[in-house]
Amino acid sequence: MTENSEEVLADPVGMIVWLVSNVEKHLDADHVRDIVCNLVRSRAGRRNLAQALHDNPSLLRTGKPPAPFRVAKLLMALREAGARDTALPHCGECGRPRPYVGSRSSGRVVKPACPRCHGVKALSKLLDGRRVCRACFAKHAAVPCARCGAVREPATRDAAGQPLCPNCLIRDPVNLGVCVGCGRRRPVAVRLADGVRCPSCRPKEIQECGHCGRTAPCEVSRATGQPWCERCQQRWVTCNGCGTVAQARGGSFEEPLCAKCTNPDPDFWGRCPVCQATWQLSPRACQGCILDQRIRGLLGNDTGTITPELVSFHEALTSAERPDVALAWISRPKVQDLLERIGRDERCVTHDILDDLPSGKVLAHLRRLASDCGVL
């Protein structure tokens, strides 16, 4: 593409509206202007789109690649708004006109995209007469599980015809087996010649970890498709992409990435059923919510309710940047004993009350936390 012409630099939106109005007679200029302004927010993007149409106005009539993906997005938006004279965008691989197309990193028009999420994915499911991606089909089919209540696509149905989610299916007593490794009756991870193995006892192949490079027992990561060792699975890092402190789920040992930066597709990850905020490989409760639950059990009453005087103290304990470290700390018997004593005491927490508790490093740390959060 040539350098931006003067008329494009002066009024890129006006140039696009003028070119579209020369072709499309079923949309007025104001409507086209609104479409362009909502579709392309940045001035640089509007100039690039205007220059592409200025250099090749026939794209509006043919929709054929090669063309920047912004042109395809404009054609899709115009058609959705009721345009009849502009062309459908054409797929860059099969050459056929499609109501929705996606792009790859090159920015060129390529494979047809899912008509629901507009993501470029395999369109493996049929829904309402249109091909859609697996994730959109699962969202459409999601219903509350008859046992746990989780809203997910059913994996099966029980004898009464009620839907069961995948987690309840594998945890159904009928589908459990006695593990030959630990002897416990658990979900079956793999069936070997000597018997079934649970997820904790399934054999791991000795491989080179794709994250740290060590040769160790590894599993294949569902996030990256690479082998990763147990140490890397439990590793907490500062994400090289967004700077948050989280468990490493991709990248390299020197430049680790969190889950969101490893795969930004939210449908790929499981969510914590309590907070719905964490991006994780399983649908179990996240460590932050487990930490909150255990501290409520120590500080709260029988229902887990925290007294108003201890709310800020509870928040200070649960706001740890590394919930795994905090969980290990509150698992210590001395910590649990002190927190239970503080929670059972109906009086407001004061230095005199803390002085009556067994002294030591744990009490000193709890006293400092209580002072910092304003309880003392």
Average pLDDT for the chain: 84
User: What is the 8-class DSSP label of residue 113?
Assistant: P
Closest CA to 67 of 103, 39, 32, 33: 103
Asked whether residue 12 falls in the same domain as residue 79, the answer is: yes
pLDDT score of 93 more than 70: no
Asked whether residue 220 falls in the same domain as residue 337, the answer is: no
Is 180 domain-assigned?
no
Asked whether residue 210 falls in the same domain as residue 239, the answer is: yes
- Structural domain count of the chain: 4
pLDDT of residue 144: 92
Asked whether residue 308 falls in the same domain as residue 242, the answer is: no
The reported pTM is 0.51
φ and ψ at residue 136, rounded to 5 degrees: -70, -35
- Mean pLDDT (whole number) for 270-287: 81
Is 279 domain-assigned?
no
- Mean pLDDT (whole number) for 114-135: 82
pLDDT of 133-153, one tens digit each? Answer: 888 898 899 999 998 888 888
**Band (18; pLDDT cuts 50, 70, 90):** very high
pLDDT of residue 43: 83
Asked whether residue 306 falls in the same domain as residue 346, the answer is: yes
Token pair in block for residue 215: 């040769």
236-240, 330-334, 351-355 — which is least confidently predicted? 351-355
CB atoms within 10 A of CB 21: 14
Full domain range(s) for residue 314? 287-372
- Mean pLDDT (whole number) for 61-65: 81
Distance between first and last Cα of the chain:
67
Is 121 domain-assigned?
yes
Is 278 domain-assigned?
no
Token pair in block for residue 157: 């149905």
Of 237, 269, 301, at which residue does a domain stop? 269
Query: Tokens 């690479």 — which residue?
Result: 226
Burial of 115: CB neighbours in 10 Å, binned 0-12, 13-18, 19+? middle
Asked whether residue 246 falls in the same domain as residue 330, the answer is: no
Asked whether residue 12 falls in the same domain as residue 90, the answer is: yes
CA-CA distances (angstroms) from residue 234 to 229, 237, 324?
9, 10, 9
Is 240 domain-assigned?
yes
pLDDT of residue 4: 67
- Reduced to 3 states (helix: H, G, I; strand: E, B; else coil), residue 229 is strand
**Residue pair 87/60 in contact by the 8 Å Cβ criterion:** yes
Is 196 domain-assigned?
no
- Mean pLDDT (whole number) for 268-297: 84
Of 132, 158, 185, at which residue does a domain stop? 132
Is 256 domain-assigned?
yes
